[in-house]
Amino acid sequence: MRVPLLELRQISKRFRDTVVIPDLSLSVAVGEFVGVIGPNGAGKTTLFGLISGNLTSDTGSVMLDGEDLTALGADARCRSGIGRTFQIPQPFQGLTVYENALVAATFGAGLHGEEAAVQAVESLARCGLHVLGDQLAGSLTLLQRKRLELARAIATRPRLLLLDEVAGGLTDGEVGELLTLVRAIHHSGVTVVWIEHLVHALVSVASRILVLAEGRVIGDGEPDAVLRNQDVRDVYLGSDLDDEVHHAPH
């Protein structure tokens, strides 16, 4: 069997007295598109923090393509190929849109000079932001910030892209545009793990759904099968989930 792209081995995390993730193991194969759902406080964002390295796990190990990243900081993990976006976009506000992408291409992808510039422009173009290159990132609208968050993440040339609620707070039309964009990024060979509250949006693109509750995986598999699972339905109080899935705009 091929080495999984991402493998988490028995990681755990507590904040003071609260155990957010008691003991979690998980693997993601190259080329997968994994959607992560779960109620608030399930530990989804913490999980991303442990993978991207801005949080350190108390126990266990994080492997990328067979390489142990557990001891590495967020910057080294980014250079190893993990890209991440935040639920609340965090552009470098004092930098221009272009400079945001350029910093990512320079340091995340390790490119220099012309190569870095090309990578930055391409990433912005894919996210439809190239015309705004000279604007300060602080002046962008929410949708534009979300796009910049994505552009900056792909400018680091990730092998694994972690998306944290990129669709939250957007209109249906905007969500549709974003789905198209993420699908294209996935088609270009990037493995995607996407946390999203909008279950219908996730189901339309993900090949696998992972359900977290209280830091544990309570459902994992093909979207349809997972959403029929009784444990998962209990967590989502049944009807909510049906509404989510059947009122999908597509």
CA atoms within 13 A on the CB side of 42: 21
28, 35, 227 from 206: Cα distances, Å: 13, 6, 13
Minimum CB–partner distance for residue 235 and other proteins (Å) = 30
Q: Could you tell me the strand order of the sheet in which 82-84 lies?
A: 82-84, 160-164, 191-195, 33-37, 208-213, 216-221
Rounded to a whole number of angstroms, the minimum distance from the CB of residue 196 to other proteins is 19
Query: Please, which residue, 116 or 198, has the CB nearer to other proteins?
Result: 116
Measured from the CB atom, is 79 or 216 closer to other proteins? 79
Residue placing its CB nearer to other proteins in the complex, 121 or 153:
153
**For residue 157, which of 116, 195, 128 has the smallest C-alpha distance?**
116
- Judged by beta carbon, residue 95 or residue 217, the one nearer other proteins is 95
The answer for residues whose C-beta is within 8 angstroms of residue 113's C-beta and 6 or more apart is none
CA atoms within 13 A on the CB side of 140: 30
Q: Residue 84 CB, nearest distance to other proteins (Å)? A: 6
Please say which residue, 63 or 74, places its beta carbon nearer to other proteins. 74
What are the angstrom distances between the C-alpha of 99 and each of 33, 64, 93, 157?
Answer: 29, 28, 10, 16
Nearer to other proteins among residue 46 and residue 52 (C-beta): 52
Task: Please give the DSSP secondary-structure letter assigned to residue 139.
Answer: G
| 191: its two tokens | 């493995």
- Cα Rg of the chain, angstroms: 18
Min separation Cβ 160 and other proteins, Å: 13
Q: Kindly state the helix (H) or strand (E) to which residue 202 belongs, with its residue range.
A: helix 199-203
Residues found near other proteins in the complex (CB under 8 A) = 52-54, 73-76, 78-79, 84, 86, 90, 92-95, 99-100, 102-104, 106-110, 152-153, 155-156
Q: Judged by CB, which is closer to other proteins: 22, or 107?
A: 107
Q: How far is the CB of 230 from other proteins (least distance, A)?
A: 38
**In angstroms, what is the minimal distance from the CB of 179 to other proteins?**
23
Please report how close the Cβ of residue 79 comes to other proteins at its closest, in angstroms.
Answer: 5
